[in-house]
Structure 1
Amino acid sequence: MGRVIHTGQVVIDLTLRLKALPEPGGDVFADDAGMHVGGGYNVLYAARQLKVETLFAGTMGSGPFTEVAVEALAAIGARHVGAYVPGDLGYCVAITDANAERTFISTRGAETRDPLAAFDDLIFEAEDVLYISGYSLENSGNRRSLERLVERLTGTVPCRVVFDVSPVVGEAPLDALEKIADLHALWSVNEREAAILAERLGIAEAGAAARSGGDAVAAPDAALARALSAQLGEVLVRVGSLGTWYCVDGGEVVHVPALPVQAVDSNGAGDAHSGVLCAALARGMDLAEALRWANVAGALSTTAYGPATCPSEERIREAVALLR
């Protein structure tokens, strides 16, 4: 069994649940509020639900938020192998409305100040899964350390790489995205991120052509998965309750259905999906089976409030059986 090695960021989530966002200049009271360890922690928590060894290689700081994060990682058995720098971790205000839609406002803290050599001592084994977050490309410090790792691995990639593109794909430097493409990573995007990524790579028209052509696949998201994968290799497009489309090298597009649920909070769905996907791959599952597990985990996570709501391995296994 391999390990899940996470190179992203852990932050503090300040969660708010309310009926609807206020209009500009307005003021509303939240129906519920909480403080949780979030960001990369949610992915690590999900991976640990499958009892896979997890390493967190991101940067930590010093201060009360960092203390909370370190304790939370230790509690789930995720080992921190990264650097420490001065200053405390940043935080994210995560707002969930009555339709389970999410809005985020984030600050930058110690987690955005990776030392240049932050990942130089990481050693990978063939069964490991390296998780890269698009948030690492959002600021220059983390981007430089990640690019240094990518350059070290390019050409001799020792393990599977999963690149969770993240909502900030529109701001990530294009050359940084192109370098990650050289790792032959599995690109994980939701439908919004897929559209932005296609436009940035200049293949939005290819996606449109795939949707309108005589041999077009049935759904726009499937066509977009094909168009993206023709340039990037392995691509999966997550479409919430409609499941996931994945494609390799522009070939056949495969659909993996989602588990029907009554969602109340989608805040942790993407992280649950990513963590379980990485853990399932580290356990040796093929991509189709790993996606079944990830889809189920993502769906079930929306039936509870909070960011780290990935269900147990036993509950996931039982639900996966319903999708066969």
Structure 2
Amino acid sequence: MNILLIGSSNTDMVVKTQKLPAPGETVIGGTFLMNPGGKGANQAVAAARLGAHVRLVAKVGNDLFGEQAVEGFQKEGIDTTAIVKDDGPSGVALITVDDKGENCIVVAPGANSNLQPDEVEAAIDACLPGDIVLLQLEIPLATVEHAIRKSAQRGLRVILNPAPAQRLPLDLLSHLHLITPNETEAELLTGIPVTEDNVGRVARALQDMGVTNVVITLGAKGAYILSSEFEGTVGGVAVQAVDSTAAGDCFNGALAVGMAEGLSLPEAVGFACKAAAISVTRLGAQSSMPHRHEVS
């Protein structure tokens, strides 16, 4: 199965601490970790470890972080031929994780901000009709828009994970096969707060905006699905969370794998929930992604 990932690549600098600092507060942390991250790269690693053939389109800096990132992708079996090098620095994320697994993240995009629309075209042209293209919003919106429109024109199944949350052009949504917002992102896109009672209403609002299929992720509670074949919640898997940093990325990478393998949307979401639950029991972003034999 072929999955094209278009997105960001960062180096994550993580500090584990008892509690997240309030504005203006300094707290003494504990363990420090430096790991490869970035939503696009995280999702690529997740999909590759779960058995997909993954090609990653990203831009890294001409520095040690960029070199290490590409080496890491190659070790994961990811096709790196579409990764572009930039003269500036690579992207960096500063992450604090508390003892409940909650986190706060600040990203310096670096080279990610310079990924241009024309730099994604060759990889899209190499895809076959029906292949999956998975994108997020840590690269320029103009590049995301161009990739979505071109992919849809070629008959590819486009999945957009609209994170970090931002508003999108309404006409863009009609080109998506699937959108996968969390509760915050879904509220920003629709203007409707997501609650347990009205999540279906929010999903229908997204579908009314032109998206074919909607999956709203609900954290530990699982995910709500709206499609022509199914509407309802697929429950999550109860675990003791250690670090939720890349849970959403794991979910999206695994969801793409399930869909590429021909699973129904509820089956693919169930598979993704299992993979994401495993990821939150481990520290780090890409380092937390499970392998296929771990997701039964």
TM-score, length of structure 2 as denominator length: 0.91
Query: C-alpha separation between the residues in 1 aligned to 2:220 and 2:186?
Result: 16
Query: C-alpha separation between the residues in 2 aligned to 1:267 and 1:116?
Result: 28
Secondary structure, aligned partner of 1:292: helix
Residues 286 and 193 from structure 1, CA distance in 2 versus in 1: closer, same or farther, beyond 3 angstroms? same
Query: C-alpha separation between the residues in 1 aligned to 2:182 and 2:265?
Result: 17
Query: C-alpha separation between the residues in 2 aligned to 1:149 and 1:228?
Result: 20
Gaps of 5+ in 2: none
Query: C-alpha separation between the residues in 2 aligned to 1:191 and 1:32?
Result: 30
Pairing 1:186–2:178 present: yes
1:247 aligns with: 226
- 1:264 Cα offset (Å): 1.6
Query: C-alpha separation between the residues in 1 aligned to 2:243 and 2:143?
Result: 34
1:120 aligns with: 121
Q: What is the letter of the counterpart of residue 226 of structure 2?
A: C
Superposition map of 1:73-112 within 5 A? 73-80=73-80, 81-112=82-113
Q: What is the letter of the counterpart of residue 100 of structure 1?
A: G
Query: C-alpha separation between the residues in 2 aligned to 1:313 and 1:152?
Result: 31
1:146 aligns with: 144
Superposition map of 1:2-81 within 5 A? 2-39=1-38, 40-80=40-80, 81=82
Determine if contact 1:161/1:186 at 8 Å carries over to the other structure.
yes
- 1:146 Cα offset (Å): 3.0
- RMSD of aligned C-alpha atoms? 2.0
Query: C-alpha separation between the residues in 2 aligned to 1:270 and 1:146?
Result: 19
Q: What is the letter of the counterpart of residue 164 of structure 1?
A: N
Query: C-alpha separation between the residues in 2 aligned to 1:316 and 1:180?
Result: 34
* CA-to-aligned-CA distance 1:145-204 (integer Å, 9 cap, x gap): 3333334344x34221110001332xx4x42xx2431313300011111111111xxxx3
1:215 aligns with: none
Q: Percent identity?
A: 24
Query: C-alpha separation between the residues in 1 aligned to 2:130 and 2:273?
Result: 22
Secondary structure, aligned partner of 2:59: coil
Determine if contact 2:161/2:180 at 8 Å carries over to the other structure.
yes
Superposition map of 1:228-307 within 5 A? 228-231=206-209, 232-248=211-227, 253-307=231-285
Q: How many residues align?
A: 290
Secondary structure, aligned partner of 1:134: coil
Determine if contact 1:116/1:145 at 8 Å carries over to the other structure.
yes
Q: What is the letter of the counterpart of residue 256 of structure 1?
A: V
Large movers: runs of 4+ above 6 Å: none
Determine if contact 2:174/2:212 at 8 Å carries over to the other structure.
no
Pairing 1:159–2:165 present: no
Residues 149 and 23 from structure 1, CA distance in 2 versus in 1: closer, same or farther, beyond 3 angstroms? closer
- 1:252 Cα offset (Å): 5.5
* CA-to-aligned-CA distance 1:111-155 (integer Å, 9 cap, x gap): 21013411121222134210111223xxxxx3333333334344x
Query: C-alpha separation between the residues in 1 aligned to 2:117 and 2:233?
Result: 40
Residues 289 and 83 from structure 1, CA distance in 2 versus in 1: closer, same or farther, beyond 3 angstroms? same
* CA-to-aligned-CA distance 1:26-73 (integer Å, 9 cap, x gap): 222212111111012211111012211100111222111101111111
Gaps of 5+ in 1: 137-141, 212-217, 318-324
Determine if contact 2:255/2:268 at 8 Å carries over to the other structure.
yes
Secondary structure, aligned partner of 2:65: helix
Determine if contact 1:244/1:256 at 8 Å carries over to the other structure.
yes
Determine if contact 1:226/1:253 at 8 Å carries over to the other structure.
no
Residues 287 and 157 from structure 1, CA distance in 2 versus in 1: closer, same or farther, beyond 3 angstroms? farther
Determine if contact 2:138/2:163 at 8 Å carries over to the other structure.
yes
Correspondence for 1:310 among 285, 289, 292: 289
Determine if contact 1:135/1:168 at 8 Å carries over to the other structure.
no
Residues 252 and 46 from structure 1, CA distance in 2 versus in 1: closer, same or farther, beyond 3 angstroms? closer
Determine if contact 2:48/2:78 at 8 Å carries over to the other structure.
yes
TM-score, length of structure 1 as denominator length: 0.83
